[in-house]
Structure formats: structure tokens, C-alpha cells
Structure 1
Amino acid sequence: MSSKTKAAPKGAVIVVGGSGGMSARYRAIVEERGLELRHFETRVPNGARRAVGRVAAVIVMVSMVSHALRDQAISLVDNGAPVVYLRSPSISALRSAVATLAPA
């Protein structure tokens, strides 16, 4: 394996709510920590539990999410991963929240 090959992600950060147009920026922030992004803007698709894998955290953008979507996303977690509530859906708020996660 070459030194330029990325290591496999060591978990996923589930972001619920927020803006679909910002997914690429959300992804860049999460990947800086060696994690993988799962962004659910309006619904959690069928089969998501199998696809998500290990969850490092669930981040809920409270001003842009329904209670039903929040509950669906939290139900994907069975390993005691933290659930972080952000009042602002901003990039800086997400960056701060991801920075508090334990190193991957």
C-alpha cells in the first residue's frame, strides 16, 4: 500500500438535518478526523442500519430537523455513541462539534 493511500475510516458521523447543499463541506470536516459522513437531510433510508457500520457520533442540527428524523437517526446507534445537538447548522458549529470527538 502506498503512502498516499487513505486508511479506512474508523467510524461514521451521522449528521441529521442541515442543508443538502452543504454535504460536501460537512464531509470534508468529518473526513479530516478520519471518519466517514452519513448525512440524512429529510429521511433515513431503508437498510441504513446495515450500511452505517460503527457510529462515532450523531450530530443533530436542531433548527433544521424533524423530531421523527432525529429519532430515526438516534435509533441507528447501539454502541453508546454521543448525540450532539447543534443550535446552528453552520460549518463552524459542525467543525467545533467534530473536534470534540475522541480521536479516530
Structure 2
Amino acid sequence: MKTEKRSQAVDRKRAEQTVLVIGGSGGMSSRYRDVVEKHGWSMRHYENRVPPGARHGAGRIALIIIMVTMVSHALRDQMQSLAVDGAPVIYLRSASVSALKAAIEQQAEQKAA
């Protein structure tokens, strides 16, 4: 019973956190979202630019993932303004769903430990 309450609290805390995916392919956004939400986080995907006020709508940022092969320099620079709260930043060489999944799973394991 105590373990169940603890896991519910962890699930609730994760749901209140957001993963920012910077770059990548807009056509893959729903598949990226599926991977992130499977681990209980919400996701914001910025393919071309970060809109004004994005920081306020993002909630608590748990992780920032930058897909370096598919991101403009301007977008990368805009991301710097969102890197607050000590959120880890992960740089991926690939914009693939499998690369995102591996990064998310590794981060989830680290947070659980």
C-alpha cells in the first residue's frame, strides 16, 4: 500500500513536468509525444522557433532534448532562454524516435534511482 502511494506520487510529479524537444521533424511530433508520455511526462516540440511566452506555458521543465542534426542555430540559441530550473540538456545526433526513446529511458532510470 505504501509503495502504491509512492508510485502514484511519482507519477503525479512526472505528469507535472515537461520535456522540451528542440529541432527534429514536425511530422514526427506525435511519435515523439508517444515516447515521452509513455514515461509520464508531457512534451513541447519546437521545430523551427520558440514562440513568445513559451516558458510560461511549459510548466516545470524536466529535460531538454536538442536534435542537433535538425535544429537551426537561431532555435538552439532561443533554447538557452528556456534552460532554467537546472534541467538537464541532452544533445542527440539523430532525430529518430529510437534515439529519443533511448534518451528518455536513460533519464527516467536516473530520476528513479
Normalised by the length of structure 1, the TM-score is 0.87
Identity %: 55
What is the aligned partner in structure 2 of residue 53 from structure 1? 59
Q: What are the equivalent positions in structure 2 for 1:56-71 lying under 5 Å apart?
A: 56-71=62-77
Among candidates 38, 44, 47, match of residue 38 of structure 1:
44
Deviation of residue 22 (structure 1)?
0.4
Q: Residues of 1 paired with 2:12 and 2:62: CA distance?
A: 16
1:58-91 CA-to-partner distances (Å, cap 9, x unmatched) read 1000000012211212311211111000001111
CA distance in 2, matches of 1:35, 1:99: 12
Which has the higher Rg, Structure 1 or Structure 2? 2
Normalised to the residue count of structure 2, the TM-score between the two structures is 0.81
Matches within 5 A, 1:15-26: 15-26=21-32
More helix by proportion, 1 or 2? 2
Partner of 2:16: 10
Q: For residues 48 and 81 of structure 1, what CA distance do their matches in structure 2 show?
A: 16
1:80 aligns with 2:86: yes
CA contact (8 A) 2:21 2:66 kept: yes
Report the 3-state secondary structure (helix = DSSP H, G, I; strand = E; otherwise coil) of the residue aligned with 1:100. helix
Flag as ranges the 4+ runs of structure 1 deviating above 2 A.
none
Q: Give yes or no for contact 2:16–2:59 (8 Å, CA) kept in 1.
A: no
Give the SS at the match of 1:69.
helix
